[in-house]
Amino acid sequence: MAKYFDVHPDNPQPRSIHQVVEVIRGDGLIAYPTDSGFALGCRMGNKDGIERIRAIRHLDDKHHFTLMCHDFAQLGQFVQINNALFRAVKASTPGPYTFILPATKEVPRRLLHPRKKTVGVRITAHGTAQAILAELGEPLLSSTLLLPGETEPMTQGWEIKEALDHVVDAVIDSGECGAEPTTVVDLSGGAPEILRAGAGDPDRFSG
């Protein structure tokens, strides 16, 4: 059974955050809130966690995983970003955007797009997720919590606990969070390409 943490969205309780991070460091898989809905998350080096995310969401090896980063400095360790794109990305973070960029050698090969050697990165504005990332000290490998056959992600912690009780190790509930996925912008080819229009305004990266 998954552990259930009821965490205040604006002032996350340090004890609860510490316990969540202990689950992650113990190679657990968590369901946690972001500013664009719930996500599944585990450590980058957690092979079992990655396979569990693939199984829960029925993902193939072409799926872009996302590294949820605490801040822009951390993001810069894992992707290559040129000066022309730097300002636009920095102006859009934290926020509901996922950026596809060429990965650095810090990213394990199994997380990369097999052909493009790219990875998704984002910085969430959600207070609970930020608190988890600050204590963890490394990115969370993440994927939107959208179950196979569903068009809308689940937005309630109790609902996720009920549905995924035996396949995740912890559910973090900070009240209802957004239900619109991030806007995904592929910056790996130089010119921005909108792969998915979502919660973030795509116009700042089009044209």
Give the model confidence (pLDDT) of 139-198 as tens digits.
Answer: 999 999 989 988 877 788 999 999 999 999 999 999 878 778 899 999 998 789 999 999
Mean pLDDT within 63-90 = 91
Return d(Cα 199, Cα 181) in angstroms, integer.
6
For the chain, give every domain's residue range: 3-205
What residues have CB less than 8 Å from 74, skipping those under 6 apart? 138, 139
What region does 87 belong to: left with phi over 0, alpha with psi -120 to 50, or beta?
A: alpha
Return d(Cα 194, Cα 191) in angstroms, integer.
10
Domain 3-205 has CATH 3.90.1150.10: no
What is the pLDDT, as a whole number, of residue 154?
Answer: 79
- Judged against a pLDDT cut of 90, whether residue 107 lies above it is answered with yes
Count of alpha carbons within 13 angstroms of residue 20, beta-carbon side: 31
Mean pLDDT rounded to a whole number for the chain: 92
CA distances, 77 to each of 48, 106, 121 (Å): 24, 7, 11
pLDDT digits (tens, 9 = 90+) for 33-58: 998 889 999 999 999 999 999 999 99
Return d(Cα 152, Cα 143) in angstroms, integer.
14
Q: Is the peptide bond before 148 cis (omega within 30 degrees of 0)?
A: no
Closest CA to 127 of 23, 40, 33, 29: 33
Helices (H), 29-182: 47-57, 72-78, 83-91, 127-136, 157-164
What is the pLDDT, as a whole number, of residue 207?
Answer: 62
Amino acid present at 155: T
Amino acid present at 35: D
Phi, psi of 164 (to 5 degrees): -120, 20
- Judged against a pLDDT cut of 80, whether residue 105 lies above it is answered with yes
Amino acid present at 14: P
Return d(Cα 34, Cα 157) in angstroms, integer.
12
